[in-house]
Structure 1
């Protein structure tokens, strides 16, 4: 059995986690992952024998997909974040297409729905019941029955309590050996709330060090805003920035932070699923996060502490309490 997944950017971000989770869950299924842009994720699936990665220029994608789907019988064709490709496959080529929404930005979702030949889409998928409900309200009445919730899967071969926890070994920063690590994973956009992480770090004692993981950025201005915020708040020397880490290294960082009494800090203002939270929890790393509706799925986890969204004071207090401290300094 073979399945096709199409997504614009080949990176080491959330969609690579989506594909990896499915490939681990279905080891007897061959996954063809097709991308249009190389964003540093070409080797993200090297350890998975049942994932084949192809990067095709978007201006050649029509001919390529026409040929590919005429020669391979796919059990499922999934398209993410690219309405034009979904329309090509469903309308022009007559295939049954599953369209998946993984963004938490409702304006992005609305634009994609408006660009879709939505009546020709066989299934519409969201990663959580919360997002499925929101998307359902944006769909024409006659297609609402096609939406389904398909939870994202964590690659538990990689993200587990056991495994390498040597991320800080040999660090060039002497302070890291005795520090308390705070891990932040995301993109430098306002929806991920990176500014709240920086402001929280500024309220904490110097022994708290921020470890920030992002995928490759196209827009240097986004990274510049983050770095400027760090500089203005005087925490530049307490921030470590990592670009495009493979999942094995992220898992090692999670376990290493856990062993040093650290936490994952999520400052997202909206989430469709909360992948970094799920992966950190799988590594037994405690989590402090803004209280979002989608995080209800983690409410039984003793590792998750939620605070009012946007409250830097509450977030800093939760981190201090986890570290055995009494108050913000």
Structure 2
């Protein structure tokens, strides 16, 4: 039995926690006993337990000592830090195999990553773009960076093969993410307003995760009102993966699309989930996003911040039949889960206390 600990700030339903949950689901049957330490539960703890998690701790106070004691008491051999990178030094000194894992690459993370060099066995990232970013910005040698692609639960995120509706109806435009500047919800709202001003029958839908405290929601709602789209927009908060996947399939059936306006994507998990459900994607061509689809062939890409270009592409995706048919055909050629087997073997090798598997 291999014991592995994951440390992360927030336990939500989506994002990094959905990656963690899927890893646990496939690794526990192979003898990896997963332990989790989160600072806050944002609705994700129950979902982890539903998938078989048996060891979950929550707590801010005394976090360093709590984690050190947990590792000693449970004889945990390897640790992955998604946050609290400063723990790496003492954990490594105590004999643990230590990984720091990055699924977001804002400039502020470069210094903490650089500061723990020499105290970690590998810096783990989800994409080739992230690897190059960490190497360039944090100065981590390429040999010390392990690319482990994210993978999704294909029994949840999958297409149902229904033919698209032929009746006249509003076309849904789905945006999923946190209410923060990196996910750039403001551009998504503005793009929706452009399309509404053109008289197009669209239905903006926002699925908001993690940050839904009053001040963020008030700002969001005020912006919808200023743009004149609040009555046409549907908003959901922190929904489950099953419900999100069902929504994506329904929107594909209704001729909709997934809109990503991020200023940075180290992987683009929501994009992959949408593609797996047969929902075409219009996305800012940032970070690792171009690794998943080709503009005009299997998706639509626009330069970050180009709102009118994005609006034109959403309109094309929703209302130009020839273009949409071409992209749908290209999506069928994608294998969005192609690297699952490689990633599972990498993780099993790493969590067993070895610092990365040679890939041939």
What TM-score results when the alignment is normalised by the length of structure 2?
A: 0.79
Q: Which residue of 1 aligns with 2:155?
A: 157
Which secondary structure does the structure 1 equivalent of 2:81 belong to? strand
Q: Which residue of 1 aligns with 2:130?
A: 131
Which secondary structure does the structure 1 equivalent of 2:46 belong to? coil
Asked if 1:32 corresponds to 2:18, the answer is no
Q: Which residue of 2 aligns with 1:201?
A: 192
1:191-238 deviation per Cα after TM superposition (whole angstroms, max 9, x unaligned): 212111111111224631111112232653332222121110100012
What pairs up with 1:74-85 in 2 under 5 angstroms? 74=76, 76-85=78-87
Asked if 1:47 corresponds to 2:50, the answer is yes
Residues 258 and 140 (structure 1), Cα distance of their counterparts in 2 relative to 1, 3 Å cut: closer
Q: Which residue of 1 aligns with 2:107?
A: 106
Which secondary structure does the structure 1 equivalent of 2:105 belong to? coil
Q: Which of 298, 305, 313 is the matching residue for 2:308?
A: 313
1:123-153 deviation per Cα after TM superposition (whole angstroms, max 9, x unaligned): 1111111111111123456x55211111111
User: Given that residues 130 and 287 in structure 2 are in contact (C-alpha distance below 8 angstroms), is that contact kept between their aligned partners in structure 1?
Assistant: no
Asked if 1:7 corresponds to 2:8, the answer is yes
Residues 220 and 53 (structure 1), Cα distance of their counterparts in 2 relative to 1, 3 Å cut: farther
1:215-272 deviation per Cα after TM superposition (whole angstroms, max 9, x unaligned): 2326533322221211101000121111111111111111111111111000011111
Q: Which residue of 2 aligns with 1:171?
A: none
The whole-number CA distance in structure 2 between the counterparts of 1:39 and 1:299 is 31
Q: Which residue of 2 aligns with 1:233?
A: 227
The whole-number CA distance in structure 2 between the counterparts of 1:40 and 1:208 is 30
Asked if 1:22 corresponds to 2:23, the answer is yes
User: Given that residues 97 and 121 in structure 1 are in contact (C-alpha distance below 8 angstroms), is that contact kept between their aligned partners in structure 2?
Assistant: yes
Q: Which residue of 2 aligns with 1:168?
A: none
Q: What is the CA-CA distance between 1:53 and the residue it aligns to?
A: 5.1
Q: How many residues align?
A: 309
Q: Which of 239, 246, 256 is the matching residue for 1:245?
A: 239
Q: Which residue of 1 aligns with 2:290?
A: 296
User: Given that residues 182 and 209 in structure 1 are in contact (C-alpha distance below 8 angstroms), is that contact kept between their aligned partners in structure 2?
Assistant: yes
1:63-92 deviation per Cα after TM superposition (whole angstroms, max 9, x unaligned): 43233212334453101021233334224x
Residues 46 and 240 (structure 1), Cα distance of their counterparts in 2 relative to 1, 3 Å cut: farther
Q: Which residue of 2 aligns with 1:169?
A: none
User: Given that residues 81 and 112 in structure 1 are in contact (C-alpha distance below 8 angstroms), is that contact kept between their aligned partners in structure 2?
Assistant: no
Q: What is the CA-CA distance between 1:303 and the residue it aligns to?
A: 3.8
Structure 2 residue ranges without an equivalent (≥5): 163-167, 322-360
Aligned CA-pair RMSD: 2.4
User: Given that residues 257 and 318 in structure 2 are in contact (C-alpha distance below 8 angstroms), is that contact kept between their aligned partners in structure 1?
Assistant: no
Residues 11 and 254 (structure 1), Cα distance of their counterparts in 2 relative to 1, 3 Å cut: same
The whole-number CA distance in structure 1 between the counterparts of 2:239 and 2:55 is 18
